[in-house]
C-alpha cells in the first residue's frame, strides 16, 4: 500500500538508517516510549513515522500511514497532548475506519472505552470495548520482566505501572492473562497490551500489527 510521504521519519543513529521500503507505521510521538517502538519496527522492516499533528496522519489523498502505534508513557499526559495538538479525533476516525493499531500500557488506556480511575479531566479515545484500571499492578518499584504465555505464542515482556483490563465486550478476544488478570486483548485490527513488549525487544505484537496491513 503506497502512502504520500509526510511526517518526520525516525532516523536512529545506531541502526544505520531505515529500510529502503516497507510499510509506514505511525508512532504517536507526544510523550512516552517512542524510540523503543521505532527501533523494533525498523528491525521488522517497517518505516516508523512520528505523529504529532493531524497533517502527519492525514493528507489530501487520505491516510499517510499503514498502521499505528500508541506507546506507553503517562496516559493522562498523552490524552491532554492529543487534545492540545488536535490529534485525538483524527486518530479515532482513522482507527474506527480500520487502521491496524497497537497500544501498549498507556496506549491501551487511551484506546479503552472506559477508564475506571481517570486522572482529573482524563478521557480516552473510546475505541476498544474494554474497561481498564490504571497502575493496577503497583508502582514503579514493582516493575517486572517476565515470560508470558499468549495466544500468539510465548513472549518476554515488561510490566511497568501497568493497567489492568477489568471487563471486555463480546467482540473482544483475550490474548493473555497474568494470573487471573487480563493483560492483552484484540478487537478486529486493534490490539492492546497492559505491558511493554518494546522494552524487551519482543517482536510478536509488532509483527502481528504489520500482518494486519492489507
3-state DSSP of the chain: CCCCCCCCECCCCCCCCCCCCCCEEEEECCCCCHHHHHHHHHHCCCEEEEECCHHHHEECCEECCCEEEECCCCHHHHHHHHHHCCCHHHHHHHHHCCCCEEEECHHHHHHEEEECCCCCCCCCCCCEEEEEECCCCCCHHHCEEEEEEECCEEEEEEECCCCEEEEECCCCEEEEEECCEEEEEEECCEEEECCECCCCCCCHHHHHHHHCCC
Query: Quick check: is 105 catalytic?
Result: yes
| Catalytic residue (choose from 105, 145, 146, 166) | 105
96 is catalytic: no
Catalytic residue among 36, 196, 202, 206: 196
Active site residues: 105, 196, 198
Amino acid at each position: 500500500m503506497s502512502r504520500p510521504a509526510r511526517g518526520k521519519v525516525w532516523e536512529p543513529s545506531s541502526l544505520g538508517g531505515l529500510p529502503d521500503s516497507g510499510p509506514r507505521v505511525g508512532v504517536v510521538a507526544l510523550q512516552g516510549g517512542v524510540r523503543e517502538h521505532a527501533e523494533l519496527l525498523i528491525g521488522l522492516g517497517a518505516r516508523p513515522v512520528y505523529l504529532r499533528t493531524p497533517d502527519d496522519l492525514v493528507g489530501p489523498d487520505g491516510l499517510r500511514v499503514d498502521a499505528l502505534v500508541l506507546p506507553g508513557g503517562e496516559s493522562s499526559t498523552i490524552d491532554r497532548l492529543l487534545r492540545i495538538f488536535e490529534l485525538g479525533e483524527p486518530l479515532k476516525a482513522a482507527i474506527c475506519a480500520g487502521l491496524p493499531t497497537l497500544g501498549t500500557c498507556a496506549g491501551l488506556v487511551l484506546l479503552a472505552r472506559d477508564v475506571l480511575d481517570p486522572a482529573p479531566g482524563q478521557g480516552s479515545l473510546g475505541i476498544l470495548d474494554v474497561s481498564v484500571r490504571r497502575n493496577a499492578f503497583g508502582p514503579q518499584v514493582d516493575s517486572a520482566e517476565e515470560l508470558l504465555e499468549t495466544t500468539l505464542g510465548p513472549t518476554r515482556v515488561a510490566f511497568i505501572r501497568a493497567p489492568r483490563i477489568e471487563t471486555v465486550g463480546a467482540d473482544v478476544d483475550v490474548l493473555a492473562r497474568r494470573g487471573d488478570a487480563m493483560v492483552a486483548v484484540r478487537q478486529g485490527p486493534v490490539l492492546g497490551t497492559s505491558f511493554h513488549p518494546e522494552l524487551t525487544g519482543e517482536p510478536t505484537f509488532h509483527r502481528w500489527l504489520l500482518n494486519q496491513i492489507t
